[in-house]
Amino acid sequence: MKKDIIIPKVEGVYLAIVNEYNDLYKTQDWNVYIINDKNVDLDLVIIVTNGYSEDKMTSIFRKKIDKLPAKSYVKIEWIQEDLFALNNQFKVSFFEGNAMFDKTYLFRKNTINLKALRDIPLMDVKGVLVK
């Protein structure tokens, strides 16, 4: 029975954590984005996030995006620098056509920092990317 279930591989959907200036509060903030680098829209995107280590765990955060257009990105959340010492996990599920896709993205502890910044697709900024 399980061998008959086809689980499609997620490609062209990424998560990025970007260091940006906040005009309102005059601070440098880290924000998490979901990027759809595909040529098709994604429907009913559901994101479940949490941070964890051997002895700590954050609360669970959930976000729903009705439609993520092709070749676009959306900010998911602001992330505190204190959480960079934890593994930050993002479980993403979405529909593409009639197929449901699911992938877990993991930013490992202490990997989010200014030295790790690189070009982020579609955004024309630098950040930490997980594919």
Least confident of 49-53, 96-100, 102-106, 115-119: 96-100
The answer to whether residue 6 sits within a structural domain is no
DSSP H or E stretch at residue 7: none
Q: What is the pLDDT of residue 10?
A: 97
The answer to whether residue 56 sits within a structural domain is yes
CATH number of the domain where residue 121 is located: 2.60.40
The answer to whether residue 3 sits within a structural domain is no
Query: How many domains, the chain?
Result: 1
The answer to whether residue 4 sits within a structural domain is no
Residue 110, domain extent: 11-31+38-130
5 pLDDT higher than 80: no
Instruction: Report the percent of the chain where pLDDT is more than 90.
Output: 93
125 pLDDT higher than 80: yes
The answer to whether residue 1 sits within a structural domain is no
Q: What is the pLDDT of residue 14?
A: 98
The answer to whether residue 69 sits within a structural domain is yes
pLDDT digits (tens, 9 = 90+) for 58-110: 999 999 999 999 999 999 999 999 999 999 999 999 999 999 999 999 999 99
The answer to whether residue 85 sits within a structural domain is yes
DSSP states of 52-112: E-SS-BPPPEEEEEEEE-TTEEEEEEEE-GGGGGSEEEEEEEEEETTEEEEEEEEE-TT--
The answer to whether residue 68 sits within a structural domain is yes
Cα 109-42-101 angle, rounded to 5 deg: 60
Q: What is the pLDDT of residue 2?
A: 60
Higher pLDDT, 6 or 82: 82
Entry pTM:
0.93
Of 12, 18, 11, give the one whose Cα is nearest residue 118: 18
Of 56, 119, 62, 67, give the one whose Cα is nearest residue 92: 62
